[in-house]
A and B are shown apart, each in its own frame.
Chain A
Amino acid sequence: MSDPATVAPPKIVESVGVVLANDAYAGGQYILRLQAPEIAARAVPGSFVHLRCAPELPLRRPLSIMLRDQTKGWIDILYKVVGRGTAALAERQVGQQLPLLGPIGNGFSPAPRGSRPVLIGGGVGMPPMLLLASELRREPHFRPVLFLGSEVPFPFAPKPSEFMLDGLPPGVLATMPLLDDWGIPARLASGQGFAGCFDGLVTDLARAWLAQLDETARQSVHLYACGPTPMLRAVAELARGFDLPCQVSLEEHMACAIGGCAGCVVQVATPTGPAMKRVCVDGPVFDASTVF
């Protein structure tokens, strides 16, 4: 079995990002916009940065790139306050400087021409899916579909989608406005009863849509996912059930993020038996079937 993560990563840059925005959203979520032109230029979908959240916390934190503007030189990062690092990051003000390393990691391997990418993101796992969608939209033949889930209010104002998706329960119409602007059909899921969202797990939402496809259409689907481990496990099951290729982006506690310390490993199946792979540079994207 070949490792799907075969996109040769660019060199990692040690740079200083300037905070352009650090906006709070419900549920302890923030979107950080950093001026970091070299990283914006080199990032690929799946890339992350290793960010020093505050001077007093010298160990950096790995955070996925959600959007980037190569012309203006900024990157957007979605994070949720879960510990000391992200709490300190939430305190950063516009104009402050943050040392960061990036872009790091192997990106998603490109979907073959004629395939139908289906992207599933959960919570702060949404960012790599959005960066991937932003790249896929440049090649209209892909016709990607996104399913996003969150148990806290989404960090954007959902609106009814202009695009139809078959097989979903009535009233499941909410999408992320940006995706509509990009011409990409998407739907949202939550167990919190948010208006227009699928009431349940994002993986059940994806399953409902996949199930109504005819066999030929379904066999062209390639799954991509990032989110909490239980969600990724469910996506891997979904892929197994429908016999679809599936790439997942993982996270783990990291020290160096350069491949030096082997602190961030995940156990993967290889032809020669189990192996410990580093999430930072062997991943963060892995073939789901080798991990789950």
Chain B
Amino acid sequence: MAAVTCKDLCKTFSQGGERVIGLERVTLEVEEGEFLCLSGPSGSGKTTLLNTIGGLDTPDSGSITVAGQCIDRFSREQLANLRLHNIGFVFQAYNLIPVLSARENVEFVMQLQGRGLATRRALAMTILEEVGLAGLEDRRPAQLSGGQQQRVAVARAIASDPVLVLADEPTANLDSRNSSQLMELFAELNRRRSATFVIATHDKRVMDFCHRRISLQDGRIVNAESRAAGSA
């Protein structure tokens, strides 16, 4: 079953009075449990496609189905609910909530889901241990390194047990060692949790970790390339 299905997605932006193509007739199917990356130069449409799949942006035309739900006519509240229960986000700039500790950041999504304190606390601790942050759970984001913050962001993304994890340039602010560790973590989580990963990147090392690579240019898919799992 497909985790994500995009059909003929089109999106244009107005930039400085000029019409810029974000996506042009993008059709894509991502299978459940897939570990896929969207590659391409800046402005190729990777982030736009990722945001559109995540319901953060709406296409001008075309259709999107996420976790079996067609989201074309979803209200803002419905889209929020879809993200809360089915999608985990990892951003380039980590985007952790500064007043919350690492554990509370991970708990935040579970709180929104209405899970009880004991459950979410235990789960947050397990996940933080899983991403290698045991002992750092009470630190605020400002007290963590970039790599540690991104691990908290990953823990937060998988805390809601999502069907789909969308990561936008997750290694852009990390050094090569932290980048490799993060990708290994992604790959492991993909294997262990069977979550579908869609990663937008132009980092060659990240691409090497993925099972399938979709190349975009000027809003169009120009190449799709499959690799054997774990070939990196």
Q: Do the two chains belong together in a single complex?
A: no
